Structure 1
Amino acid sequence: MATLNLVAIRDGGSGGENGGFYSPAKEKAANRSACSFRSVVVRRLRKVIGGGVTRVKLLFTIGLIFAFLLFASRIGSWMGWNLDYASSVSSSTRGGYTVLINTWKRNSLLKQSVAYYASCSGTDAIHVVWSESDPPSDSLKAYLRKIVQSKSQMTHKPNLRFDLNEEDNLNNRFKPIKDLRTDAIFSIDDDVIVPCDTLDFAFSVWQSAPSTMVGFVPRMLWSSKEKIGSTSYKYGGWWSVWWTGTYSMVLSKAAFFHRKYLDIYTNEMPTSIRDYVTRERNCEDIAMSLLVANVTGAPPIWVKGKIFEIGSSGISSLNGHNGKRTKCLNDFISLYGTLPLVPSNVKAVNAKREWFW
Structure 2
Amino acid sequence: MGYLHRDCKSKALPIGCCDMSVKCRCRWNLGHTWCSFLWQHPSCLLSSTLTFFISSFVIFAALGFLFSWLVFPPFSQPFLDSAGVGCQPDNEGSWSVGLFLGDNPLLLQPIEEVGIQKNRSSAWPVANPILTCASVIDASYPSNFVADPFLFIQGSTLYVFFESKNALTKQGDIGVAQSLDGGASWKYLGIALDEEWHLSYPFVFIYNNEIYMMPEGSAKGDLRLYRALQFPLIWTLDRVLIRRPLVDATMIEYNGKYWIFGSDFQRFGVKKNGELEIWYASTPLGPFMQHKGNPVRNEDRSLGARNGGRPFIYDGQLYRVGQDCGETYGRRLHLFRVEILTKHKFHEVEVPLGVAESRKGRNAWNGLRYHHLDAQRLPSGGWIAVMDGDRVPSGDINTRYLTGTAAFVFLVFLVSFVGVILGVVQFVFPFSKWLDASKRNDMALGYVRSQFKSKFHRALSQLNRATSTVRGRILFHSCGGASLMLLCFVLGIISVCIGVRSFFGGNRAEEPYIVGGQYSQFTLIAMTYEARLWNLQMYVKHYSRCASVKEILVIWNKGQPPNPDTDFDSAVPVRIRLEEKNSLNNRFKPDPLIKTRAVLELDDDILMTCDDLERAFSAWRQHPERIVGFYPRLVNGNPLKYRNEWYARANKGYNMILTGAAFIDSQTAFPMYWSEKAEEGRALVDKLFNCEDILLNYIIANSTTSRTVEYIHPAWAIDTSKLSSAAISRDTNSHYMKRTQCLLEFSKLYGTSLLQIWEFGTRSDGWDY
Q: Is 1:169–2:169 an aligned residue pair?
A: no
Aligned to 1:117: 543
**Could you tell me which of 669, 688, 692 is aligned with 1:284?**
692
Letter of the 1:87 partner, please give it: E
Shift of 1:299: 4.0
Aligned to 1:100: 525
Q: TM-score, normalised by structure 1?
A: 0.67
Aligned to 1:255: 662
Shift of 1:141: 4.8
Q: Deviations over 1:21-45 (max 9, x none)?
A: xxxxxxxxxxxxxxxxxxxxxxxxx
Q: Classify 1:176/1:94 alpha carbon distance in 2 versus 1 (closer, same or farther; 3 Å).
A: same
Shift of 1:234: 1.6
Indicate the SS of the match to 1:270. Answer: helix
Identity %, equivalent residues: 29
Aligned positions of 1:1-357 closer than 5 A:
76=68, 78-80=70-72, 83=506, 87-89=511-513, 94-104=519-529, 105-132=531-558, 134-138=559-563, 141-144=565-568, 147-148=569-570, 152=571, 158-224=572-638, 232-259=639-666, 260-297=668-705, 298-305=707-714, 306-311=716-721, 312-313=723-724, 314-318=727-731, 319-347=733-761, 351=765
1:167 and 1:317 map into 2 onto residues whose CA distance is 22
Q: Classify 1:271/1:320 alpha carbon distance in 2 versus 1 (closer, same or farther; 3 Å).
A: same
Residue correspondences, number: 264
Q: Is the 8 A contact 1:171 1:284 kept in 2?
A: yes
1:346 and 1:268 map into 2 onto residues whose CA distance is 34
1:347 and 1:256 map into 2 onto residues whose CA distance is 19
Point out the structure with max Rg over C-alpha: 1
Letter of the 2:747 partner, please give it: I
Letter of the 1:342 partner, please give it: Q
Structure 2 unaligned regions, length at least 5 = 1-63, 73-500
Question: Structure with the greater relative contact order (CA < 8 A, sep ≥ 6): 1 or 2?
Answer: 1
Q: Is the 8 A contact 1:135 1:164 kept in 2?
A: no
Q: Classify 1:352/1:174 alpha carbon distance in 2 versus 1 (closer, same or farther; 3 Å).
A: closer
Q: Classify 1:168/1:247 alpha carbon distance in 2 versus 1 (closer, same or farther; 3 Å).
A: same
Q: Is the 8 A contact 1:109 1:190 kept in 2?
A: yes
Letter of the 1:83 partner, please give it: G
Q: Is the 8 A contact 2:527 2:555 kept in 1?
A: yes
Letter of the 1:309 partner, please give it: D
Letter of the 1:261 partner, please give it: A
Q: Classify 1:339/1:333 alpha carbon distance in 2 versus 1 (closer, same or farther; 3 Å).
A: farther
1:121 and 1:77 map into 2 onto residues whose CA distance is 22
Indicate the SS of the match to 2:582. Answer: coil
1:351 and 1:339 map into 2 onto residues whose CA distance is 29
Shift of 1:337: 4.4
Structure 1 unaligned regions, length at least 5 = 1-71, 153-157, 225-231
Indicate the SS of the match to 1:264. Answer: helix
1:333 and 1:120 map into 2 onto residues whose CA distance is 38
Q: Is the 8 A contact 2:631 2:711 kept in 1?
A: yes
Q: Is the 8 A contact 2:761 2:767 kept in 1?
A: no
2:763 and 2:612 map into 1 onto residues whose CA distance is 10
Q: Is the 8 A contact 1:95 1:124 kept in 2?
A: no
1:273 and 1:353 map into 2 onto residues whose CA distance is 32
Q: Deviations over 1:91-137 (max 9, x none)?
A: xx6231110012132000000111111010010110001100x3414
Q: Is the 8 A contact 2:590 2:670 kept in 1?
A: yes
Letter of the 1:308 partner, please give it: I
Indicate the SS of the match to 1:242. Answer: helix
What's the Cα RMSD here?
2.8
2:522 and 2:647 map into 1 onto residues whose CA distance is 31
Q: Is the 8 A contact 1:170 1:284 kept in 2?
A: yes
1:94 and 1:79 map into 2 onto residues whose CA distance is 25
Q: Is the 8 A contact 2:512 2:547 kept in 1?
A: no
Indicate the SS of the match to 2:681. Answer: helix
Shift of 1:242: 2.2
Shift of 1:280: 1.1
1:347 and 1:292 map into 2 onto residues whose CA distance is 23
Q: Deviations over 1:230-260 (max 9, x none)?
A: xx31222112012111111110111111112
Q: Is the 8 A contact 1:201 1:350 kept in 2?
A: no
Task: Return the structure number with greater strand share.
Answer: 2
Shift of 1:213: 0.5
1:283 and 1:309 map into 2 onto residues whose CA distance is 18
Shift of 1:86: 6.9
Q: Is the 8 A contact 2:628 2:711 kept in 1?
A: yes
Q: Deviations over 1:243-297 (max 9, x none)?
A: 1111111101111111121122123442111111111111111001111222233
2:676 and 2:762 map into 1 onto residues whose CA distance is 31
